[in-house]
Structure 1
Amino acid sequence: MLNPHREQEYRNGDNKWEAMILAQLDLTSTIQLNNGVAMPRFGLGVWQTDNTTAAASVTAAIRHGYRMIDTAKQYGNEAGVGRGLAAAFADGSVRRQDVFVTSKVMNGDHGYERTLAKFEGTMRRLQLDYLDLYLIHWPVDGLYVATWRALEKLYRDGRVRAIGVSNFDVQRLQVLMRSATVQPAVNQVEFNPVMQEHEMRDFAAAHNIVVEGWSPLGGGQALSNPVVGLIAQKHHKSAAQIILRYDVQSGVVTIPKTVHEQRMVENADIFDFALDEQDMQAIAGLDQNRHSLWYDAFGWYGTDTDYGMATQKWPDSAPDYDD
């Protein structure tokens, strides 16, 4: 387990010691959250995955050594993730405490009482007694402070091991933290070569908040970047492996999504090499501070923005969302 403060030193250039340690990371490596909980640095995301596929993907990922699964009610596949976890635990190869499971509060479920009530549905679908990490999926303006109070209660009651946020900018995170009695442990944001969140990462490092990155491959756009391609040739790795290694080596927890078992194996094959300082600087120079093309097309900050439920409410999960 690495100290996040030493990782900040690495990003600031004092990397001789850190580069040696980072080169020794593997799929079981963890980072310590601000409450002492160990969070894996690498996991599986399941956005845009139906329940049947999610179940198979989760079981396969765990079989191949993954120890973190990231889902959300808004994805419409918590039930499938729950089935995949149950299958993995049933064969005795892993225990519940070996797998770090994250879910998130859906936009339409914000508010203190409603968040607490809807959390029970998430747990039922996932077939779990506790969550490792529960996040506010999007900061619904006017409600996210009350929602955070509900997460604090769930944390104090032992229902979740850590709490955090997702898609919060620095300003909204500052508002939340002014009234919080439990500081966020994680902020999950988009992170890839063209969107590197420097302001948020600096703020998070200063407040001991771990940054977790979704869409690490930029929706596939980053895979064709010629700079990434040259570095891939240099290390005899794929473009995806170079980008994912950059994430981990930058101290960002990463959760690439795939439903293909071979791709899961390839994505995780990033722990037998290290990017040098020249590689790191070259990829850092690709930053455009630009979100994915679809990001700004939706009003993410309102309670009526149930994008996931509107577009990804798979037929086999529909009854699960009547709670």
Structure 2
Amino acid sequence: MEIRTHQQDCQKKMGFVPEVTLGCSGQTMPVIGMGTASYPMPDLETAKSAIIEAMRAGYRHFDTAFAYRSEQPLGEAIAEALHLGIIKSRDELFITTKLWCSFAERDQILPAIKISLQNLQLDYVDMYLIHWPVRLTQHVTKTPIPKEQVVPMDMKTVWEGMEECQNLGHTRGIGVSNFSCKKLEDLLSFCKIPPAINQVEMNPLWKQKELVELCKAKGVHLSAYSPLGANGTKWGDNRIVECDVLEGIAKARGKSTAQVALRWVYEQGASIISKSFNKQRMRENLDIFDWCLTEEESNKIIQLPQHKGVTLASILGPHDLVLEIDADL
């Protein structure tokens, strides 16, 4: 896995978005992607327009999931962007989607990715991730869900299905999301195709130090969701954007608090999934590559108290298996 150093990027012009090379798949991926998870989910036209605006701003990496219900507006946005000439080819984009827990069984994985491809109006995605390391026995229509519907996932057979998706060309890479060190090491012990990515919550107040080190050692790229604390969502809060330390650094540097937080994540070697439907903030989130945090600023951030934001229990309910997954991650 190769990523440009932050010293090199300090010399790059504003708006430049570097790419990371994913070691096991050989793919290149823009280090900032636009997230599309919202609660409540906006109407199709609002989401579609925001995604098109993001493409105009320079985003080429988009993160969705079956569970987000944003695959369809992303697919329509891609089709319109091609029609308008905002992008010349689908190959300019890096599209990630995810296998939802209701499909986490060997014989359901291939049908699941085909549903996602139909929603996206695409022949393939660039990355397909296991969304959470758990299986749901029924489709979820509302949360929390009954305890008996949450069961352990058979990781070996599920990963066989993921590998089949890649071997058949439905996705160019496969990976995981919300996998702890323990679960990642378990997967690496038997997989034929190693996961290219582990997408987890990561930000200055949830640094994931042990997981970062393991991913680097094993050649698995770590991708950070909720880098700004997912403020404004059902599961997020304002602890990043209203952090006094980050705000102080931002004011001293003439940056936004969000830019400081995103820059810190990038300097850890992770890629970033950041969601904003606001045009100005979309562009600000891309402008983090022409400057660096000083050693003193980084040391201040290192000392921030740690607090996990996203929990599976807040989504599915505080069931024993769910709490075990949360405690492990």
Alignment TM-score, normalising by the size of structure 1: 0.84
Question: What code does the residue aligned with 2:284 have?
Answer: E
Report the counterpart of residue 76 of structure 1 in structure 2.
Answer: 69
Give me the identity figure in percent: 32
In structure 2, what is the equivalent of residue 125 of structure 1? 119
Q: Is the 8 A contact 1:102 1:131 kept in 2?
A: yes
After superposition, give the CA deviation of every residue in 1:75-98 in whole Å (9 maximum; x if it has no partner).
012111111111111122311111
What is the CA distance between 1:280 and its match in structure 2?
1.8
* 1:177 counterpart residue number: 188
Deviation at 1:287, TM superposition (A): 4.5
Summarize the Cα distance change of 1:129–1:139 in structure 2 as closer, same or farther, 3 Å threshold: same
SS in structure 2 of the partner of residue 216 of structure 1: coil
Contact 2:265–2:272 (Cα < 8 Å) also in 1 = yes
Q: Secondary structure at the match of 1:175?
A: helix
Match of 1:238 in 2: 256
State the SS of the aligned residue for 2:293: coil
Amino acid of the structure 1 residue aligned with 2:177: S
Deviations 1:208-242 (A, max 9, x none): 11100111111332111111111101210010111
In structure 2, the residue matched to 1:291 is: 308
Partner of 1:39: 29
Question: Does structure 1 conserve the Cα–Cα contact (< 8 Å) formed by 2:17 and 2:289?
Answer: no
What do residues 155-213 of structure 1 show as CA deviations (whole Å, max 9, x unaligned)? 11222111100000011111212221000000000011111111111110000111001
In structure 2, which of residues 86, 103, 108 is the aligned counterpart of residue 114 of structure 1? 108
Contact kept? 2:22, 2:221, Cα under 8 Å: yes
Letter in 2 for 1:281: N
Alpha-carbon shift at residue 283 of structure 1 (Å): 1.3
Distance 2:285 2:163 in 1: 34
Structure 2 residue runs of 5 or longer lacking an equivalent are 135-151, 231-237, 323-329
The 5 A counterparts of 1:11-50 are 18-24=5-11, 27-34=16-23, 35-48=25-38, 49-50=41-42
Whether the aligned pair in 1 keeps the contact of 2:9 and 2:290 (CA below 8 Å) is no
2:97 alignment counterpart: 103
Q: Aligned equivalents of 2:125 and 2:311: distance in 1?
A: 30
Q: In 2, distance between residues paired with 1:272 and 1:233? A: 17
Counterpart for residue 195 of structure 1: 206
CA distance in 1, matches of 2:111, 2:31: 30
3-state SS, counterpart of residue 218 of structure 1: coil
Whether contact under 8 Å (1:137, 1:166) holds in the other structure is: yes
Query: Hey, what's the Cα distance between the residues in 1 that align with 2:310 and 2:65?
Result: 21
2:284 to 254, 266, 270: 266
Paired AA for residue 65 in structure 1: G
Asked if the contact 1:138/1:300 (under 8 Å) is kept, the reply is no
In 1, the alpha carbon distance for the partners of 2:189 and 2:99 equals 21
Aligned pairs for 1:147-226 within 5 A:
147-219=158-230, 220-226=238-244
Which whole-Å CA distance do the structure 1 matches of 2:261 and 2:48 have between them? 26
Partner Cα distance (2:180, 2:318) in 1: 12
Instruction: Tell me, yes or no, if the aligned pair for 1:28 and 1:67 is still in contact at 8 Å.
Output: no
Contact conserved, 2:22 with 2:29, CA < 8 A, in 1?
yes
Q: 4+ residue stretches of structure 1 with deviation over 6 A?
A: none
SS at structure 2 position matched to 1:146: helix
The aligned counterpart of 2:84 is 91
2-structure distance, mates of 1:113, 1:216: 34
| Residues 206/120 of structure 1: CA separation in 2 closer, same or farther (3 Å cut) | same
Q: What is the aligned length?
A: 290
In structure 1, C-alpha distance between the alignment counterparts of 2:274 and 2:55, rounded to whole Å: 14
Which structure has the highest helix share of the two?
A: 1
Q: Flag the 1:57–1:275 CA change in 2: closer, same or farther, 3 A.
A: same
Q: Which runs of 5+ in 1 are unaligned?
A: 8-17, 306-323
Do 2:20 and 2:28's aligned partners in 1 also have CA atoms closer than 8 Å?
A: yes
